[in-house]
């Protein structure tokens, strides 16, 4: 029987997520960390100070699924940007897929 993998704390979670930055504490008292997708889109994951690791993982899954390539395109793209609109939306769609894949894989730690 294969032993279930475990993530016991925020540091292990951040290490497990290949492309994430360290934890921060905002002025409002919420903690957060930043995950970067393969095409460099970043997504901030927020959670309440004092949340247990299972809740942080649930929040991470939920918030990763909220990344929307179309919304981010509308917010981030500018005509002077180094990529054409079609190149940039394709990159964001790939990053959205990457975030969804990560959210799916994180489920094994809370099921």
Percentage of residues in the chain having pLDDT higher than 90: 47
pLDDT at 108 over 70: yes
Instruction: Report residue 6's pLDDT band, with 50, 70 and 90 as the boundaries.
Output: confident
- pLDDT score at 33: 86
pLDDT by residue (tens digit) across 66-79? 999 999 999 998 88
Q: What is the distance of C-alpha 56 from the center of its chain? A: 12
d(CA 93, CA 73): 10
Q: From the CB of residue 33, how many other CB atoms can be counted at a distance below 10 Å?
A: 20
Higher-confidence residue: 58 or 23? Answer: 58
Torsion of CA 14, 15, 20, 25, to 10 degrees: 40
- pLDDT score at 1: 45
The position carrying tokens 């919304």 is 71
**How much is the mean pLDDT over the chain?**
86
Instruction: Report residue 12's pLDDT band, with 50, 70 and 90 as the boundaries.
Output: confident
Buried b (16+ CB within 10 A) or exposed e, 74-95: eeeeeeeeeeeeeebbebbeeb
């Amino acid at each position: 029987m294969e032993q279930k993998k475990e993530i016991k704390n925020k540091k292990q979670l951040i290490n497990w997520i290949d492309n994430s930055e360290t934890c921060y504490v905002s002025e409002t008292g919420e903690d957060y960390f930043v995950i970067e997708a393969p095409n460099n889109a970043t997504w901030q994951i927020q959670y309440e100070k004092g949340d247990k690791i299972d809740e942080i993982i649930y929040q991470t899954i939920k918030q990763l699924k909220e990344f929307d390539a179309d919304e981010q395109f509308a917010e981030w793209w500018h005509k002077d940007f180094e990529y054409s609109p079609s190149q940039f939306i394709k990159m964001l769609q790939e990053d959205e897929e990457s975030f969804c894949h990560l959210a799916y894989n994180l489920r094994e730690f809370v099921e």
